[in-house]
Amino acid sequence: MAPIVTVVIPVYNRDAQLRRALRSIQEQTFADFECIVIDDGSTIAISPIVESLGDDRFIYLRNSQNAGPYNARVQGYRTMRGEIMVGLDSDDQAYPWMLGQAVKYLREVPAVDGVAGMHLRTSDGRLLVRVRGGRKIMHPADYASRPQIPDCVGAVRRAVVDEWLEKRDDYFSLEVHQWFTFHMHHSMLFIDEPWTRYNVGGADRVTLQPQPQRQLDDYVKFLDEHLAYVEGTESVVLDELLEDAWFGLWRAGRKEDAMRFAQHMEKRGLSKRSVIARRGLAKARRLLPVVAPPVRYVE
C-alpha cells in the first residue's frame, strides 16, 4: 500500500549531515512514510549511506549529472506515492513530531492545501519566523500583500505536487517560483511550532561549484514561464523577485536580459536607483558586527 507521507531530500556530496537528516526521519513518531533521497550527481558514494539504515522506507535515486537542487526535487516528485509531500534539505534535522503534526493539521483543516512549521536556527536557538497567535491561515490575497516568508518547512497535498509537475523542470535552484504559484492559488496554514533544526553551519553543497550564471538563468526562465503573472498580478513577492533578478543580471553584464526585467519593473513602478541604493546599504550593514536579525512574524 502507498504510504501517507513522502519526504523528498535532494543531496550533493554530503555524508555526516545526510546521515543526521535521515536518522531524524527514521525516528519520526509517525511511521507511515517513504523518504526519497535524490543524489544529484555526487562524487562521493551516497547510496551506502541510505542502505546503512536497513529500512526499506528509504529510497535512493541518482541523477546522472549535477542539475541543481530544484531539478533533483522534481525527480522525487515524479516518484512519490504518498498523499502528502514534505520537502527537506540534506542538512536539516527534523523533530520527531514533524510528520505526525503535518498529517494532523492537513486532516483537521481541509480548506488548506499546505501547512508549514518553523525552522529553529541552531546557531542561537531562535526561530527565524514566528506566527502571532500560534496559527494563521494565509489566503492568496494575504500572500499578495506581504513580502516572502523565509525559512519554513512545508507539507502539501499531492494535488499541489501534480500542479508543480506541469511546470518546466529545468530550473537550477529557484524553488520560490513553485511556492509563488502555490500561494497565488492555495491557502496555507502556518503553525508556531518548530519542525526542523536549520543547521546554519553546514557547508552549502548543492552543486559542483558556485554557479551564479545558472541561478541567473533561472530568473529568465521564470519570466518566460510566468509572464502572465508578471504583467497582471500585484504581489510584493513578485516585486522582490523582479528586483533581485534585474540587479543580478545587471551586475553580471547581461544587458539584454536585464533590460527585459527593467521594463517590467518600470510598469510596476519599481525604481532601479532604489534597488541599487538598498543593495548598497545592505552591503554596508554586512560589514558591521554580526547581530542576530529580529524574528519575522506571520501576522
Each residue of 183-197: pLDDT tens digit? Answer: 999 999 999 999 999
The pTM of this model reads 0.91
pLDDT in tens, 34-66: 999 999 999 999 999 999 999 999 999 999 888
* Res. 89: pLDDT tops 80: yes
**CB–CB of 218/171 below 8 Å?**
yes
Query: CA–CA separation, 133 vs 182, rounded Å?
Result: 24
Which of 102, 116, 112 shows the shortest CA–CA distance to 148? 116
Query: Measured in Å, how far apart are the chain's first and last C-alpha atoms?
Result: 40
Give the confidence band of 200 by pLDDT, cuts at 50, 70, 90.
low
* Neighbouring C-beta atoms of residue 109, cutoff 10 Å: 15
- Helices (H), ranges, the chain: 16-26, 47-51, 69-79, 98-108, 140-144, 158-165, 176-185, 212-225, 227-232, 236-251, 255-267, 272-286
- Kindly tell me if the per-residue pLDDT of 209 is higher than 70: no
* 84, 5 Cβ separation under 8 angstroms: yes
pLDDT grade, residue 93 (50/70/90)?
very high
Q: Rounded distance, CA 213 to CA 210, Å?
A: 9
Q: Give all domains of the chain, ordered by start, each with its CATH number.
A: 5-198 (3.90.550.10), 212-286 (no CATH)
Characterize the bridge pairing of strands 114-121 and 126-127.
Answer: antiparallel
pLDDT tens sequence across 273-289: 888 887 776 666 655 56
The whole-angstrom separation of Cα 180 and Cα 197 is 24
CB burial readout 8-28, b (16+ within 10 A) else e: bbbbbbbeebbebbbebbbeb
Instruction: Kindly state the average pLDDT of the residues 221-248.
Output: 94
Nearest residue to 61 via CA among 115, 123, 9, 5:
9
- Rounded Cα distance between 273 and 265, Å, is 12
Residue 75, pLDDT score? 95
pLDDT tier at 204, thresholds 50, 70, 90? very low
Residue 203 has pLDDT above 60, yes or no: no
Which residue from 3, 1, 56, 2 is spatially nearest to 32, judged by alpha carbons? 3
> CA 71, CA 63: separation in Å to the nearest integer?
9
Q: What is the pLDDT of residues 94-141, one digit of tens each?
A: 999 999 999 999 999 999 999 999 988 877 778 888 898 899 999 999
**CA-to-CA distance for 56 and 230, rounded, in angstroms?**
44
